[in-house]
Amino acid sequence: MKPAVFHELLGEKHFTKVQPATFVNLTQRYRNQDAAKTVSLDKLNNAEWKSYFGLFVPFPNSFKSPLALCYHGHQFGSYNPYIGDGRGFLYAQLIENKTKRLMDLGTKGSGKTPFSRSGDGRLTLKGAFREVLASEYLIALGVNTCKILSVFETEEKLQRQDEPSPTRAAVLVRLSHSHIRIGSFQRLAYLNQHEEILKLARYVVKYYYPKLDYDIAPKELLKHLLKSLVENVAEMVAGWMSSGFVHGVLNTDNFNLTGESFDYGPWRFLVKMDFNFTAAYFDHDERYSYGKQPEAALWALCRFADCLVEFVSEKELEKELSEFYPKMQSALFKKLCWRFGVLPPADIKEDVFISLFFNATSKSKINLDYLFHKYYAGFEPKTLQTESKEIIPFLEILSVQKARQASRPEYFSQSLASSLSIDEVEDIWSCISERDDWTKFEKKIKIIKDYGTALRVE
């Protein structure tokens, strides 16, 4: 399959050609060899890496110039027709080695575009650093997420309200299964470009849902696409909930058409169970709190379904949307069991197990990282004597479940390291900002990868 397909198949109604910013000085801060290997980029030398991911020299057989994609979106519930790729662009498309799926290379902090409005088109180094940590930890925890491929510090100085300024700047490249968002369809519906909706849907199905038939009647095509997206988003949100992850900004332009988590701004990982916790300081109404993430995701899916009403009846769309909560519950049940290292029990209903987990962790206020680490499969029941009475009923059920691995990985016999609280993040960042010391960051990335490896041991 030829990778450079987006502009050829969809045309300029969906993007604007742009030029990347020119960066005088570039210092490589992060190179993701694991992600690079999946698209055969791991053999690049340092000069080539800088050329592609700092200077944005075009890849062979891909775009000659980057594409800033057009989209609208609901931002905290209010529709905004004036957004789009404002500080990033779709830079190239490659083929993943294992799955043969189309992969998108998207940037952040790569300069102004026609959609930048009053923004400078730049990204802070701290913002890039936080995106790397969030994506790596979610990958370790089995959540469907983009991968941060590269970060270069640009040596510019930026002014920001939410960071001590002037602050350091960076340019980031992420690898994902789609750069197209729910907001991409919302824009076309807003403009009454219904044939473009159908064209975009066929593109999405052909290149991101290869098991579906992209050349069938419009009604069936869109129903199948919605059904698949509902399943993928349910899986993604279940991953957030089982990880104690709070995304922070779940606007419709932050949901892509493959159900892959991305764009990590004011994220947090819960230390203790708190359904009302919000990651964004500007989310005054707690619209995107930890406990409301499933509701926010379904709301975004409903807005996608709104774009399809010219082709599919509301009743049929509602039927597909009604599957979101059952699918999310089933996925959450399996993901919680997976993270605790046990096989899903057959004698406990999914909703009972989930309710017991959330009730016990909410009442006990137990440290979640401690809980997942200490009580991974194979723990001794006698250790329960040291815990609060609120958490014991859940741990007693957990203790009699069958482990999903042949033996408990040695990782879980060591002291707790698999965590990513905001205090840890700020401590790591202070070493970078004050002394340009990246040692703790590199160590934390290794710990996170080791955790992911331990969770996947057969």
CB 393 within 8 A of CB 441: no
Any idea which residues carry the catalytic annotation?
253
Alpha helices in 100-193 (DSSP H): 125-140, 182-190
Percent of the chain residues past pLDDT 70, beyond the cut = 98
As given in the structure block, the two tokens for residue 146 are 């983009």
Mean pLDDT calculated for residue range 11-37: 95
The residue whose two tokens read 């859940």 is: 394
- The closest of 439, 403, 424, 454 to 130, measured between CA atoms, is 424
CA distance 135 to 237: 14
- Bridging pattern class, strands 78-80 and 73-75: antiparallel
pLDDT digits (tens, 9 = 90+) for 254-265: 999 999 999 999
CA distance 31 to 47: 13
CA distance 457 to 455: 6
Tell whether omega for the bond before 166 is within 30 degrees of 0, i.e. cis: yes
Percent of the chain residues past pLDDT 90, beyond the cut = 91
Question: Is residue 5's pLDDT more than 80?
Answer: no
CA distance 143 to 149: 17
CA distance 234 to 324: 6
Amino acid at the residue 254: N
pLDDT digits (tens, 9 = 90+) for 33-46: 999 999 999 999 99
> Which residues in 145-234 belong to E strands, given as ranges?
147-158, 167-176
pLDDT digits (tens, 9 = 90+) for 133-178: 999 999 999 999 999 999 999 999 999 988 889 999 999 999 999 9
Q: What is the pLDDT of residue 11?
A: 82
277 burial level (CB within 10 Å; 0-12, 13-18, 19+) = middle
Question: Any residues with CB less than 8 A from the CB of 309 and at least 6 apart, and which?
Answer: 317
321: helix, coil or strand?
A: helix
CA distance 180 to 184: 6
Question: Is residue 4's pLDDT more than 70?
Answer: no
Q: What is the pLDDT of residue 1?
A: 47
Question: Is residue 3's pLDDT more than 70?
Answer: no
Longest dimension (CA), the chain: 65
CA distance 135 to 147: 6
pLDDT digits (tens, 9 = 90+) for 266-313: 999 999 999 999 999 999 999 999 999 999 999 999 999 999 999 999
**pTM for the complete prediction?**
0.96
**Model confidence at 62, in pLDDT bands (50, 70, 90)?**
confident
Question: Is residue 114's pLDDT more than 70?
Answer: yes
